[in-house]
Each structure stands twice: as C-alpha cells, then as structure tokens.
Amino acid sequence: MTKLLKTPAGWPTILLPRAGVADTTDLDAAVAVGAFDGLRRAIRDLGAFAVVAAVGAARLRGRGGAGFPAVDKWRTARSVDAPRRYLVANGYGADPASQTDRMLLLQNPFAVIEGAAIAALAIDASEAIIAVRAEDVDVIARVAAAIGSATDAGFLGPDVLGSGHDIEMSVRPVQGAYMLGEETVLLKALAGKRGQPEQRPPHPAERGLDGMPTVVHNVQTLAALPWIIREGSEAFAAIGATDSPGTILVNVRTPTGDGVAEVPVGTTLRDIVKLGGKLPAGREIKAILVGGPSGGLLPAELLDTPYDFGPLRAAGAHVGSGSIVVVDDRADLVELVGVLTRFCSTEACGKSIPCRIGTRRLAEIVGRREAGLARPTDGRDAIDLAADIVASALCDHERLATLPLTSGMRYFGSEFEDARRPAPVRTEATHG
C-alpha cells in the first residue's frame, strides 16, 4: 500500500499537511489553519488581474508533467472573447504506479478546491470541474463532501464571498485507460464522448469544453495557488529551483516500499530516493525509472540530477506522472524496457500512424532482445525509429513512449547490445 513518506524536518510544506489530519473534509478545522484565506485575499485584496500577476511572479509551472507556466494558459483563456470559460482540475492520475494526485485529493481536498476557485476567478470561469477516476469511490466521496461544505459556507456557489462572481464546482468521475489523462482526451470524456488526442492549436485554453476557453491544470498546480496568494509570490519563488519554484509530489517506489512525499522542486534524485527507504542488504541501485511508464531509465551516476523539468529532460527522463522507481542490481533492464515499451504501444490510441506503428516496431525490437534474437542492425534501427516517432508527434505520448528504450540504450548500452543473451525468466510487470 502506498503511504505518506516522512520528509526531513524543515522541508517546506505547501501541498500536503505534515501531520496526518483525522478528517480532511472537516471545513472548520481546515479554515482554522488557513484554508480559504487565499481565496478571501484574492477576492478582497487583489482581484483577477492581480491574481494573474501574482501567480506569474511566483513562476508556477504546471505539475501535470510538461512544466508549462501556469499563467500562460490563463492569459490565453482570458484573451479569447467568449460567453463563458471553464476550469478543469485534472485529478485522473493516468499512471496507476503513481498515487501523488490521489494522495493530494484525499489528504488535502480543500487546497485543490480553493485553488480551483482562485484559478476560476482569475480566468473568469463560472464552472469548475474536478475530474477523477470513476473507480476511485473514496476520492469521489471525499471531494464531493468537501465541495458540499465549501459551497454551504459560501466559498463556492453564487456570489462567492460577496464578490459578484459565481463558481459552480463539481467532482466528475471519468473512466478510461492511460490516454484519458491527456487533456484533450479528458475534455472529450467530460463531454460524454470517447476520444483521442486533438491536434493543437487550438489549445483547450482557446477552445475546449463546449468550444469555450478551458484551462486544464493538474490538481497539484491548483493546490499551490492558495499558498501563493496567502504567503506571496516572493515566498513561493524562494522555495525549490530558481526556474521552477515550489514543491512537488513524488511517488517513490523501492524494492522495500512505496510512498508519496512532498519535496522542493530541484531536490536531487539521491535525496528523494533516500525517502523511499533502504535497499535490501547487499543490493545496489542499478537504475532509476523517472516519469512513469514512459519515463527514462537513469543510472546511479546521475543520482545528483535535480528533480526539475529542465534537468530531467536533459538527462533523458521527465517529471511525467511523478513516479520514481528504484531498480536494484537484480533487475533485467531489457525485460523492464520491454514491459514499458509494450505498455506505451498498447496504450497509444492509434490516431497517428507513426505512433501506432512506430511504437509497435520498437516493442518488437526490444522483444527480439529479450528473446536473445537481436539483429545486428536493431540498435541503429531503434534510434532512427525513435527519432522519426518523436519528430512526428501528434501528442506528448508519442514523444515520451520512446524514452524507456532510448534512455536504456544510452545508459545501459551493453545490456542492449548483447544479442546472444539467454531468454530471461519472466517476472511480474512492475508498471502499468
């Protein structure tokens, strides 16, 4: 079971309360420790323009994986002349191996709700939707209860805190596979349609739900907003990495444990991995899979890489789903890459041919390696194919699906080059 990991005393806390809270839907208890102070300040002291300016000055980047500056979407949505706008909180959590967003929704639902209300105010949206997995009844019940009490208290609903601004908020269960977390697919699901990713532009911030400007943010991005408005942009910008301030949730899995922790952006992988606990006696780290099923495999020599959007991308991984899996020296990396590449290929929606066919071919190449039947040209073919797939990307899945193999070949080349390796004994898949 995924647990809340203990972080060192003195590490900043923005998203998750440090101590376990008995009832996270108790509004009075939450208000007593500052919940909805940010919304009050946004309405009474700032107004929409100043909120946008404050979040811009805080340099908040989206936590949904790509690290896009949050206010850029807000400015786009505001610039479109439209009768209404929508705010969507992406709490789908596409990667089942990462419980970061689920943990946030369970442990601090009011932060997501307050953040969604602040963002709705900033983009002049009167409807905000928190999208979650349909099968996760605990999350649905908790978020629905928290929205209910926040509405009763006047933090949501008509004329929020006397501002003249209405914010109708709801929790919406959605059901689907991995691709449903992608924002254009999610918007189709919310509209009751089956979907595949859409070519951009137009971006959802220009044309989304009902053809109206729609800002989609990961729930963590939204949960940071109350703190920024309450404590100030400078205080936020002083935490974490200069270019990517704030904190972020990570799901660290080691051979001995699995848990979620809040860490300042820019914390080294080494310090994050330590939070996950020790390896079994006598074992050493062989690789760290960073970013989920389409993540990159990094070697132990890169443990000092900052957990931050730019540095991870430069190393051949990405923030992605927030998942960090520590693999010890018993692991067969070719087999692991096989599992991941097949997952990415199976989950590709099939809309674009380079992704549909290309990821299948990549999976075949890894499959040949796994079976000890590699061809001499396979390495070169895989690199060329990955480059072609990335160059024709219609959605981010296509670009990222190549990462397990390309990072594996880059850092663990000898394991991938040995064409005569014996067929391995299959072990259980650890992802997806």
Ligand X SMILES: Cc1cc2nc3c(=O)[nH]c(=O)nc-3n(C[C@H](O)[C@H](O)[C@H](O)COP(=O)(O)O)c2cc1C
Residue with smaller CB distance to ligand X, 65 or 255: 65
Q: How far is CA 130 from the centre of its chain?
A: 15
Contact 172, 128 (CB under 8 A): no
**Peptide linkage before 202 cis (omega within 30 of 0):** yes
348 binds ligand SF4 (CB under 6 A): yes
Q: Are strands 86-91 and 127-133 parallel, antiparallel or unpaired?
A: parallel
Which residue stretch of 21-29, 164-172, 205-213, 391-399 sits at the interface with ligand X (rule: CB under 6 A)? 391-399
Strand pairing partners for 227?
none
Least distance to ligand SF4 from the beta carbon of 184, Å? 9
Which of ligand SF4, ligand X, none does residue 297 bind to, with CB < 5 to 8 Å depending on kind? Answer: none
Counts of helices then strands in the chain (DSSP H, E): 18, 10
Residues in contact with ligand SF4, total (CB under 6 A)?
15
Residue with smaller CB distance to ligand X, 285 or 325: 325
361 binds ligand SF4 (CB under 6 A): no
Which of 276, 398, 400, 432 binds ligand SF4 (CB under 6 A)? It is 398
293 binds ligand SF4 (CB under 6 A): no
Which residue stretch of 23-31, 212-220, 286-294, 348-356 sits at the interface with ligand SF4 (rule: CB under 6 A)? 348-356
**Peptide linkage before 201 cis (omega within 30 of 0):** yes
Least distance to ligand X from the beta carbon of 118, Å? 14
Q: How does 133-146 read in b/e, with b if 16+ C-beta sit within 10 Å?
A: beebeebbebbbbb
Contact 61, 70 (CB under 8 A): yes
Least distance to ligand X from the beta carbon of 391, Å? 17
Which of ligand SF4, ligand X, none does residue 25 bind to, with CB < 5 to 8 Å depending on kind? Answer: none
Which of 41, 59, 217, 369 binds ligand X (CB under 6 A)? It is 217
The site map against ligand X for 172-211 (x = CB under 6 A) is ------xx-xxx----------------------------
396 binds ligand X (CB under 6 A): yes
Sign of CA dihedral 304, 309, 314, 317: positive
Sign of CA dihedral 143, 147, 150, 156: positive
Which of ligand X, ligand SF4, none does residue 382 bind to, with CB < 5 to 8 Å depending on kind? Answer: none
Which residue stretch of 5-13, 255-263, 394-402, 406-414 sits at the interface with ligand X (rule: CB under 6 A)? 394-402
Which of 211, 310, 350, 413 binds ligand SF4 (CB under 6 A)? It is 350
In what order do the strands lie in the sheet containing 257-264?
Answer: 3-4, 257-264, 247-254, 323-328, 285-290, 296-299
Q: What residue has token string 């919940």?
A: 35
Nearest CA-CA partner of 319 in 331, 305, 332: 305
CA distance 229 to 212: 27
Which of 15, 55, 209, 216 binds ligand X (CB under 6 A)? It is 216
The site map against ligand X for 136-175 (x = CB under 6 A) is ----------------------------------------
Residue with smaller CB distance to ligand X, 319 or 374: 319
Nearest CA-CA partner of 324 in 357, 288, 355: 288
Q: Which residues contact 264 (CB under 8 A, 6 or more apart)?
A: 11, 12, 239, 240, 241, 246, 247, 248
Binding site for ligand SF4 (CB under 6 A): 179, 196-197, 348-352, 355-356, 393-395, 397-398
Binding site for ligand X (CB under 6 A): 62-66, 68, 90, 92-94, 178-179, 181-183, 216-218, 221, 395-397
